[in-house]
Amino acid sequence: MLTYGNRTGWLVLAVLFLLILLPLAAVIIQVLLPGVFFGKLVMGDISLLLDVFRRPLWLASLKNSVLLGTGTTIIATIIGGAIAIVRARWSFPTAKLLDMAVWLLIITPSFILAQGWVMFASADGLAARWLGWTWLHSLIFQPAGLIAVMTLSKFPLAYLTVYTALEWKVDRLGEAARLSGATPWTVWRTVQAPLLLPAFCSGAMLVFMDTVGDFGLPASIAAVFRFPTLPYSVYSALYTSPIRFDMAGALSFYLVLLIALAMAVQLYAMRKSRFDFLTSRATRSVAKRPAKGTYVFVLGNIALLLIVIGIPLGSNFLMSVSETASGAGGFTLRHYRELFTGDGTLLSGLLHSLEIAAAAAVLGLIVGFLIAYVLTYSQFKWRKAIDVISLVSLAVPGIVLGIGYIFIWNQSWLEHIGLLLYGTPWILILASVAGAIPVITRIIVGAMAKVPAQLLSAAQMQGAPFTQRVTTILVPLVKGALLSAALAAFGASVFDLAIASILYPPNFMTLPVVINKAFEDLNFGYAAAATLTGGGLVVLIMAVLELLFRPKKKRVRSSAYESHT
C-alpha cells in the first residue's frame, strides 16, 4: 500500500502544482518579469509595486481593503465570539434557528447578500419607500456602514470557530480560581477567555481572509456607491480598455501579501503559548435554560435573524415581485416571466453554470479523494506539503487565482498543442476544481480517518489490487462523505462570481454573471428573480441528489423478533 501511496502522492502533488501553485507563482512572476507570459521577456521594474502609493485609484483600493478587512475582522470576531459563548452556555427557544441562519449565511454567496442590502438601503430602495427611512442610505453607503454590512455577513465564521472550541469544558481550572477568591468575571477574563485565544485568532483570520478577498460586495455596491477595493480593481484592470495585466498582477500581489501578513500575525500571537488543557476529567458542554429572562434571549435572537437574514434575502424576494425598482407600484410576477420569455440569457447562463459545476464536482471529487487517501494512509515524504497546498486556495481570493489562470492558459504556444484553455469553458472548470479542493479534501479526510488502514492492508495481503481495494472497501465506507463533498463543491461552483466574472468566455454567460450584469444595469427586479429562481433550482437539484444517493440506514431487527419469525 505504501508503494501505491507514493505513486499517488507524486500524482497528487503534480495536480496541485498545476491547479494551484503554478497560477499563484504566475502572479508573482508577472510582477517581476512583465510580459513573460505574452512573448516579451523584460526584467520587471520593482517600482511598479510602489506605484500603489502614487496612483490614487490603487492607493484608494489598498486603503479600502485594509480598512474593510480590519474593521470587519475586529467587529465580526467580537460579535461572533460573544454570540457563540451565549449559545454554548444557554438554551432557549429559537436557538436552533440561529444555528440554521449561521450556515445559511456561510453558504449564501456574498454578492447575493450585498445585493439584498443595496435593494433595501439605496436612496430609492425598500427602506426609503416603504418605511420612510431616507436616512439609511447615507448611513449604510459609507465606510463604516459597509463594515457593518460585511460584519453581518462574515460573523458566522468567527461564531463557528469559537462555538466548536466550547464543545468541551474543564471545570477544575475555574473552580481552582474561585477557591482562590476570584469573582466569576475574573475567572472568565483570566482563565476561560485566554484558553479561547486560538479559536478567536482562527476566527479572526478566516474573517479577514474572506473579507479582503471578497469580490461580491464591491461588485454589488458599484451600482450605487463608489468604494474600490483590491479585488474589484483587479477586475477593472482586465475589463477596462486598455487591458492592464501589469496592474492586475501588482494589485493581486498586494492581496496575497495582506493574507500572508494576517497568517503571520496569528502565528506570532500564539508562538509561545500552550492551550492543550483537555484531560480525562473534561466533560461535554451542555447548554442550560436560563433561570429567568428567557424572553430577552428570544427577542434578541429574533431581532438578529431579522437583520442578518430577513433584510438581504427578504429584500431579494420583495424586489422580485415588485413592479418597480423602488418597490412601489404593487406586486407582479413580471420579472419571473421575463426570465423565460426573454432572449434566453438566464436559461443559457443557468445551464452553463450547472454544467461547469457538475464537471468541477466530479473532477474535484476524484482529486480530493486521492489527496485524502495520501494524507490518511500513505507515508509519502511530501505529505505535509500536500496538506498545506490543498488549503492554499481557501486562503487565496478567487480573483487572484483567476488572474493566474489567465497568465498560464493564455499563451500562444499552447494553441499548437490544443491546450489554449483561455476563452473556453475548461478554464472555468479547472479554476472551480481548484477552489473546491479544500472543502472536498477536509470532508473526505474526516471520513477516512474512521476507516482503519488494517482493512486495506488485509485486502492487499489477499492479493486485491489497489483499484479493487479502493472501490470495494474504501469507497463504500465513505460514500456519505463523498456525496456531501460533491454537493458542497457543486453548490459553491454554481455561484462563484469572482471566478466566473474574470474567466467566462465570450458569448458564454454563467448564472452569477447574468445576475450581476442585471444588477449593474439597475434591473433589480430581474436580478432578484434570477437569484431566487437559480438558487431554488440548485437547492432542488442538490436535495434530489441527496435523496437518490445518500446511503440508506438499514433497520436491524431484534433477535427476539427474529426468533418469532
Cis bond before residue 184 (omega within 30° of 0): no
Can you give the pLDDT at residue 469? 81
Can you give the pLDDT at residue 1? 45
Give the model confidence (pLDDT) of 311-366 as tens digits.
999 988 888 888 776 555 678 888 888 888 777 788 888 899 999 999 999 999 99
Can you give the pLDDT at residue 563? 44
Give 75's pLDDT tier (boundaries 50, 70, 90).
very high
Report, as an integer, the average pLDDT of 411-440. 85
Report, as an integer, the average pLDDT of 379-407. 81
Give 565's pLDDT tier (boundaries 50, 70, 90).
very low
Higher pLDDT, 207 or 241: 207
**What domains are defined for the chain?**
1-44+348-511 (1.10.3720.10), 46-273 (1.10.3720.10)
Q: Is the pLDDT of residue 208 over 50?
A: yes
**Chain-centroid distance, C-alpha 118:** 21
pTM for the whole structure: 0.78
